[in-house]
Structure 1
Amino acid sequence: MTPKYCSTLLDCIRSGLCRHESGVGIYAPDPGAYKTFAEIFDPIIESYHTGFKHTDKHPATCFGYGSDFPNLDPEQKFIVSTRVRCARSVEGFPFNPCLTKRNYKDLECLIKKPLRALCNEHAGSYHTLGCMDSDDIQKLVDAGLLFKGKNRFLKSANALRYWPTGRGIFINKTCTFVIWVNEEDHIRVIALEKGGDLGRVYERMIVGVESLAHSLKFSRDARLGNLTFCPTNLGCTIRASVHIKLPLLASNRRNFLELAKKHHLQVRGTLGEYSQALGGIYDISNKRRMGLTEYEAVAEMHKGISALIEAECEESRKTRK
């Protein structure tokens, strides 16, 4: 068992035992699980994060500047929207399977305080999930702004206990900056907008997470970086993604996926993992989050998406000959 919260190996692998279709099938019920059960976590981390070995050390946080990344699609031919998010866990609390009902309420209260101080384009309002109208919840889910409460993988991992206690969402006035509270991780900071201006979206996310860091202390490990519920999000925790149409390139799925893999990109359906590409729109993001800084993760994604767009343009040139 883990020393502080007494989590067991079963708590870690429960979801994978119940859901054989899981991509990874393992979660950390508390921060100590990554050390107590390193024998099972380390090989999975190395496999998912492309070679991050148990002897490697994640680098210090370095966000850099969003202005370094030009618009990926200034003519708006391919990219529908851009989103950048990062996850954070508040130090002193376990993860979902070990959180009590009181913990959820305390966490929500703690996180809400710095949200009131957000200003300018980040200013907005917080909504407790349990106090929201079901129609309003569905509208936000349909718009891609709010998490779904019926995730079967999280349920199998005992991550939906006491739902919706302590869960909520902060939204700015223009719906381009969102913070999820106590869904999969304690905090998900998300910036988004239509089009392909990755630099602007990334900069908005940076300001948001650094504002929270002034008031909250986050869980971090000297080797693994930022600690999260799922090992796929460890390290810098950055997921920079686009909704993009690449009809010619995607017509040859094998080549499409091979090119994405070459650039360490993850290809998902329109609505995320385990979904289909509705209307030919794919959700494509960086896959690696360990062994590289936040800035390097976004730079890798920017380079990869640029390569996919160039490949699509090359296919278009071939068809015109």
Structure 2
Amino acid sequence: MSDFTFTENALSAWMQVEGRDSDIVISSRVRIARNLRKLPFPLVANEEQGEQVRELVVDAAARAAEELGPLQPIQLDELSEVDRQVLVEKHLVSPTLANESQNPAVVLSEDESLSIMINEEDHIRIQCLYPGFQVKQAWERATAVDDALEAYVDYAFDDRRGYLTSCPTNVGTGLRASVMIHMPALVMTHQVGRILNAVSQVGLTVRGIYGEGSEAQGNLFQISNQITLGQSEQEIVDNLEGIVAQIIEYERQARSRLVGESKIRLYDRVMRSYGILTHAAIIDGKEAAQRLSDVRLGVDLGWIDALSMTLLNELTILTQPNFLQKTFGATMNTSEKDMYRAQLIRDKLVKSKE
């Protein structure tokens, strides 16, 4: 673990480059759920069986290192509570793995674009993250990791149903493909509700920034496939890409309309948010997310030259509650987090002007 700084740095290496349509799509992610044959699924497994799964998967990842590259296994129950939550805030593990799982572990690649979660809802959750709109690339990488692991472990598979999983909605391919998309203009023009409702009618689901049960803060939405049974991996990826491409175009049109019809009001909103972030003494997480969304839009529109998307991505992670505590090395109450969040944002924005 000493070779990695996954709880020290907010930015994973994969986040420091831009992908296609990165002005709107923050990231693309693919998760593949797998279970091991002849072992109880995590929901009913005892501690000894969970430990056996952990050892088998870590060993398989080590043996597949030639295909997968350098990997670091981490036992989450050996980490502090703050470090576990930092992993969640960086999207390297799920809240379920960090908070509810028995014998939880994760195997991370050096650039943190690959996470192999162990003993989450299923024995194995392979996750690949890419910047921008690169769902197909993330799927191809995840499939390669899946094949590499399968050479050393025996998956639970049914000839008729496909891969067997704890949740019925994951049975079949076990594939969840998603994008994190920034849609401020569609929110401002009150079109987002209609569009997201239409998305749900075509087999996709919309969640907040941290997945199921989380709130969509800062105009960031996670769009993913809902069903894995009865569709091939290619069909799932193609369907998601096709719908997201349409949403990207709707967001671009909404931005153009806002600039054309109320440019001065939009500019004022962006610059007010920039000013507040630069000078605020306290700011809570929800307001910070909204102000950062406004500033991100201003950068995309070319109105703020001093800031990079890399810095905004970093601030999105750094201002999360547990990362704040990690950064300042202190346990904080809510008021203290709001104060230190404002200080951190001010310092980063001022430094960016130098």
Distance in 1 between the 2:232 and 2:184 partners?
32
> Which of the pair has the greater relative contact order for Cα pairs under 8 Å at 6+ separation?
1
Structure 2 match to 1:276? 215
- Preserved CA contact (<8 Å) 2:67 2:148: no
CA distance 1:259–1:316, change in 2 (3 Å): farther
Report the AA paired with residue 129 of structure 1. Answer: L
RMSD over aligned Cα, in angstroms?
2.3
- Preserved CA contact (<8 Å) 1:260 1:308: no
Distance in 1 between the 2:97 and 2:242 partners?
35
Structure 1 match to 2:49? 103
Query: Displacement of 1:108 after TM fit?
Result: 1.0
Q: Equivalent of 1:252, from 184, 188, 191?
A: 191
Report the AA paired with residue 273 of structure 1. Answer: E
1:92 pairs with 2:38: yes
Gaps of 5+ in 1: 1-71, 153-159
Once the two structures are overlaid, the 10-residue window that deviates more, 83-92 or 283-292, is 283-292
In the TM superposition, 1:1-321 aligns within 5 A as 74-117=20-63, 118-119=65-66, 122-149=69-96, 160=100, 164=102, 166-250=103-187, 251-319=190-258, 320=260
CA distance 1:151–1:212, change in 2 (3 Å): closer
Structure 2 match to 1:10? none
Report the AA paired with residue 105 of structure 1. Answer: E
Gaps of 5+ in 2: 1-17, 262-354
Distance in 1 between the 2:97 and 2:232 partners?
32
Distance in 1 between the 2:137 and 2:159 partners?
30
Query: Displacement of 1:144 after TM fit?
Result: 1.2
Task: Report percent identity of matched pairs.
Answer: 27
TM-score when scaled to structure 1? 0.69
Query: Displacement of 1:100 after TM fit?
Result: 1.6
CA distance 1:149–1:97, change in 2 (3 Å): closer
CA distance 1:122–1:288, change in 2 (3 Å): farther
Q: Pick the structure with more helix per residue.
A: 2
Distance in 2 between the 1:207 and 1:150 partners?
23
- Preserved CA contact (<8 Å) 2:128 2:141: yes
Query: Displacement of 1:289 after TM fit?
Result: 1.0
Query: Displacement of 1:78 after TM fit?
Result: 0.2
Report the AA paired with residue 139 of structure 1. Answer: V
Report the AA paired with residue 254 of structure 2. Answer: E
SS of alignment partner, residue 20 of structure 2: coil
Report the AA paired with residue 280 of structure 1. Answer: N
- Preserved CA contact (<8 Å) 2:74 2:105: yes
- Preserved CA contact (<8 Å) 2:162 2:172: yes
Distance in 1 between the 2:144 and 2:97 partners?
31
Distance in 2 between the 1:79 and 1:183 partners?
27
SS of alignment partner, residue 98 of structure 1: coil
Distance in 2 between the 1:132 and 1:151 partners?
10
Query: Displacement of 1:318 after TM fit?
Result: 4.2
Distance in 2 between the 1:237 and 1:308 partners?
25
Residues 22-70 of structure 1 show CA distances to partners (whole Å, capped at 9, x for unaligned) of xxxxxxxxxxxxxxxxxxxxxxxxxxxxxxxxxxxxxxxxxxxxxxxxx
